[in-house]
Amino acid sequence: MAKADITIYLEANGKFSNVQKYQLTSPVSNDPVDFIGSHRFVLPENSVQLVIQIVDSYDNTNIFEYKKNIDFQPRNKGIDQSEIQLLASASPSNEVNDLTKHGFAFEPLPYNFSNKDSTLIFFNEIYKTDQFMDNSFVVGYKINLGYFEELGQKIKQGYKKYQVGPTVPVLISMDVTDIISGNYSLVIEVMNRNKEVLSSQYINFQRSNPVGDYQIVGSYNAEFSNSFVHGLPKNKLDYYLKALKPVAPYHLTGILANAISNPEIEPKQYFIFKYWTDLYGKNSEVAFEQYMKVADAVHEEFFTGFGFGFESDRGYTYLKYGRPDDVLTVEDEPSAPPYEIWRYDKIEQNGQSNVKFLFYNPSIATNDFDLLHSTCRLEKQNPAWEVELYKSAYSEDNRNNINATTVQPGINRNARRYFEEF
């Protein structure tokens, strides 16, 4: 059973409000499980910062903190809508808690990522229709290709009639079986009986649909049939696909995994063709060859004897973020195995500056350096990395005390200083 201590509060001008503290407990399971918590606030009409702190109840050094600035604006004078919420499930419920609303229990859709499901469930509240319309109104909903800002073409749409009221809940399940993997936007519009749009909201989401994607393989066109992928050695297709893992966008990871595990040749060829053609068009073959030259070099440099070199932590990082701007290699600290610190002046993917990765080789005998800690967002962050790096120090010298996250300083323990100053 997993437990997390949750603290949520609003901060404005150095003052705290709506402070909530509670413990969130997972269902009993022998395997790791995802579990969710929800809390609702009434926001003041000004700018505030939402702060969420999550602490592992069994390890108070394992902390996650999330902050977001919220600029609250009063609602429009006319008809208005809440933000759209995408749901993993919605079921009737008589309970009253933070996960229920309008007689339904809602399970949010994590990361707005639709994975394999045949339906897209969404919820929206519409306000004050009774003040501006008589009897009824229409809700139009549509899915567009690409994020809303890209103004992509419409893929699917639907309409539903509702009776006016102060607050009208809209809960809709939309069939998305035939929508292939990619980026999309969902738009909900409030219309009068003349289909004039009075209010609208949108939300961006990603979809992974390996089954639907593979069905496209059957509709080959001349461009694919004559493409460079048919000249690639068939026994190296998995090698080419695995080399894409570090750079493939999140919504394609499921499709990529299926292409690798699929024993058939054509889905592998099609993925390679579509990935590079979508990015580089007619220059896809040149781009592919240039990338594979780098991947081949990374494989040679970081080969460990297990898998390909770009599947190691250092190889993966190199392909994902490029060559580091500087590398510090330390092999002569008696209290630590060999380790490396990589520094990037800037990570292009997220705009983060002065990013560092620390790799270490606990096995010593191989070339396999594991990622121990990083300051890069969404990569492994280990507050107790120093303890792990110097875990043999206590047995070697029992005068040195090791606490939860750091070790006592010593002449042969320079990693903390190197990491901070490098």
What pLDDT digit, counting tens, does each position of 165-223 carry? 999 999 999 999 888 878 899 999 999 988 899 999 999 998 877 666 666 555 546 67
| Residue in the block written with tokens 């107790």 | 384
Same domain, 285 and 301: yes
Q: Does residue 401 register a pLDDT over 60? A: no
Q: For 272-321, how does the pLDDT look when each residue is reduced to its tens digit (9 = 90+)?
A: 998 998 888 889 999 999 999 999 999 999 998 888 999 999 999 999 99
Report the Cα 42 to chain-centroid distance in Å: 28
Residue predicted with more confidence, 138 or 117: 138
Instruction: Give pLDDT tens digits for 13-26.
Output: 888 888 889 888 88
The model's confidence at residue 150, banded by pLDDT at 50, 70 and 90, is: low
Q: What is the mean pLDDT of residues 132-143?
A: 93
pLDDT at 115 over 90: no
Same domain, 226 and 204: no
189 shares its domain with 173: yes
203 and 117: one domain? yes
Average pLDDT, the chain: 86
For residue 319, being part of any structural domain is answered with no
265-280 vs 253-261: helix axis angle to the nearest 10? 150
Pairing type for strands 47-56 and 104-108 reads unpaired
Is 417 contained in some domain?
Answer: yes
Cβ atoms 185, 204 nearer than 8 A = yes
Extract the runs of DSSP E, i.e. beta strands, from 272-404: 326-330, 339-347, 352-360, 370-374
pLDDT of residue 395: 47
Write down the pLDDT at residue 264. 87
Q: How many domains does the chain have?
A: 4
Residue 138 lies in a domain: yes
Pick from 185, 208, 231: which residue ends a domain? 208
Confirm if 306 and 315 have CB atoms less than 8 A apart. Answer: no
Q: How confident is the model at residue 103 (pLDDT cuts 50, 70, 90)?
A: very high
Q: 187 and 225 share a domain?
A: no
Look at residue 385 and give its three-state secondary structure: helix
Domain boundary among 47, 74, 101: 74
pLDDT band at 403 (very low <50, low <70, confident <90, very high): very low
How much of the chain, in percent, has pLDDT values that exceed 70? 88
Instruction: Please give the pLDDT value at position 409.
Output: 60
64 and 157 share one domain: no
Six-digit token string for 190 = 């409030």
Single out the residue in 15, 50, 74 at which a domain terminates: 74
Residues 86 and 168 in one domain: yes
Regarding whether 266 and 282 lie in a shared domain, the answer is yes
Give the model confidence (pLDDT) of 43-72 as tens digits.
776 788 899 999 988 888 888 888 888 876
Which helix (H) or strand (E) segment is 85 a member of? strand 85-92
pLDDT recorded at residue 356:
95
* Residues 228 and 239 occupy one common structural domain: yes
In the numeric block, which tokens belong to residue 84? 């759209």
The domain that holds 114 is classified in CATH as: 2.60.40.2550
State the Cα–Cα distance between residues 248 and 278, nearest whole angstrom: 12
Whether 341 is covered by a domain: the verdict is yes
Residues in the chain: 422
Q: Closest Cα to residue 12, out of 38, 50, 56?
A: 50
Assigned domain for 96 exists: yes
Domain match, 12 and 62 both: yes
Greater model confidence, 336 or 72: 336
Token pair, residue 101, equals 């609303």
Q: Are residues 302 and 229 in the same domain?
A: yes
Quick check: is 224 in a domain?
yes
Residue 150 lies in a domain: yes
Assigned domain for 141 exists: yes
Assess whether 389 and 362 both reside in one domain: yes
Instruction: Dump the DSSP string for 5-27.
Output: EEEEEEEETTEEEEEEEEEEEPP
pLDDT interval class at 400 (50, 70, 90): very low
Using alpha carbons, select from 395, 390, 388 the residue that is nearest to residue 412. Answer: 390
Q: Please tell me which residue, 405 or 188, carries the higher pLDDT value.
A: 188
Determine the structural domain holding residue 233 and report its residue range: 211-314
pLDDT (tens digit, 9 = 90+) per residue, 224-245?
778 899 999 999 999 999 999 9
> What are the residues whose beta carbons fall under 8 Å from the beta carbon of 225, sequence distance 6 or more?
none
